[in-house]
Amino acid sequence: MTTPVAQIADAAAYAQAVETVVKAAAAYYADGTSPLDDDSYDRLVRGIAAWEADHRDQVRPDSPTGKVAGGAVEGDVPHTVPMLSLDNVFSPEQFTAWTTSLARRIGHEAERFCVEPKLDGLAIAARYTRGRLTRLITRGDGTAGEDVSHTMGTVEGLPETLSQPVSVEVRGEVLMTNAQFEHANEVRTAHGGQPFANPRGAAAGTLRAKERAYTVPMTFFGYGLLPLPDTDDALADRLGRLAHSELMTLAGQLGVNTTATTAVPGITAATTGEVLARVQEIAALRAGLPFGIDGIVVKADLAADQRTAGSGSRAPRWAIAYKLPAVEKITRLLAVEWNVGRTGIIAPRAVLDPVEIDGSTITYATLHNPADITRRDLRLGDHVMVHRAGDVIPRIEAPVAHLRTGDEQPIAFPEVCPRCCSGIDTVQERWRCEQGRNCHLVASLSYAAGRDQLDIEGLGVTRVVQLVEAGLVADLADLFTLSRDQLLGLERMGETSTDNLLAALATARTRPLSRVLCALGVRGTGRSMSRRIARHFATMDNIRAADAEALQQVEGIGAEKAPAIVAELAELAGLIDKLTAAGVNMTEPGATPPPAASEDTSGAAAGSGGVPASGPLAGMTVVVTGTMTGPLEQLSRNQMNELIERAGGRSSSSVSKKTALVVAGEGAGSKRTKAEGLGIRLATPDEFALLVADYLD
Could you say which of 225, 239, 321, 448 contacts ligand IVH (CB under 6 A)?
A: 321
Nearest-approach distance from CB 308 to ligand IVH, in angstroms: 15
Q: Which 566-585 positions form the footprint of ligand IVH (CB under 6 A)?
A: none
Q: Is 85 in the site for ligand IVH (CB under 6 A)?
A: yes
Q: Is 84 in the site for ligand IVH (CB under 6 A)?
A: yes
Q: How far apart are CA 614 and CA 628, in angstroms?
A: 25
> Nearest residue to ligand IVH, using CB?
123
The stretch near ligand IVH (CB under 6 A) out of 49-57, 82-90, 487-495, 666-674 is: 82-90
Q: Is 297 in the site for ligand IVH (CB under 6 A)?
A: yes
Mark residue 628 as left, alpha or beta (left: phi above 0; alpha: psi -120 to 50; beta: remaining).
beta
Of residues 118 and 532, the one with the C-beta less far from ligand IVH? 118
Of residues 125 and 336, the one with the C-beta less far from ligand IVH? 125
Site string for ligand IVH, 153-192 (x = CB under 6 A): --------------------x-------------------
Nearest-approach distance from CB 84 to ligand IVH, in angstroms: 4
Q: Which of 331, 30, 328 is nearest to 199 (CA)?
A: 328
Residues sharing a CB contact under 8 Å with residue 256, sequence separation 6 or more, in sequence order: 126, 157, 158, 159, 162, 170, 172, 220, 222
Nearest-approach distance from CB 297 to ligand IVH, in angstroms: 4
Q: How far apart are CA 317 and CA 677, in angstroms?
A: 29
Residues sharing a CB contact under 8 Å with residue 518, sequence separation 6 or more, in sequence order: 452, 453, 525, 526, 527, 530, 531
Q: Which 212-241 positions form the footprint of ligand IVH (CB under 6 A)?
A: 223
Torsion, Cα 646 648 654 660, to 10 degrees, reads -140
Question: Of residues 67, 118, 561, 674, which has the active-site annotation?
Answer: 118
Of residues 317 and 432, the one with the C-beta less far from ligand IVH? 317
Nearest-approach distance from CB 175 to ligand IVH, in angstroms: 9
Of residues 123 and 333, the one with the C-beta less far from ligand IVH? 123
Q: Which 111-130 positions form the footprint of ligand IVH (CB under 6 A)?
A: 116, 118-119, 123
- Tell me the DSSP string of 536-598: HH-BHHHHHH--HHHHTTSTT--TTHHHHHHHHHHHTHHHHHHHHHTT---B-TT--PPPPTT
658 is catalytic: no
Residues sharing a CB contact under 8 Å with residue 603, sequence separation 6 or more, in sequence order: none
CB 168 within 8 A of CB 232: no
Nearest-approach distance from CB 156 to ligand IVH, in angstroms: 17
Nearest-approach distance from CB 85 to ligand IVH, in angstroms: 5
Q: How far apart are CA 511 and CA 126, in angstroms?
A: 61
Of residues 117 and 685, the one with the C-beta less far from ligand IVH? 117
Of residues 315 and 691, the one with the C-beta less far from ligand IVH? 315
Q: How far apart are CA 658 and CA 626, in angstroms?
A: 20
Q: Which of 262, 64, 274, 41 is nearest to 173 (CA)?
A: 262
Q: How far apart are CA 524 and CA 369, in angstroms?
A: 16
Question: Integer distance in angstroms from the first to the last C-alpha of the chain?
Answer: 45
CB 54 within 8 A of CB 96: no
Nearest-approach distance from CB 18 to ligand IVH, in angstroms: 20
Could you say which of 18, 24, 86, 247 contacts ligand IVH (CB under 6 A)?
A: 86
Binding site for ligand IVH (CB under 6 A): 84-86, 116, 118-119, 123, 173, 223, 297, 316, 319, 321
Just list the catalytic residues.
118
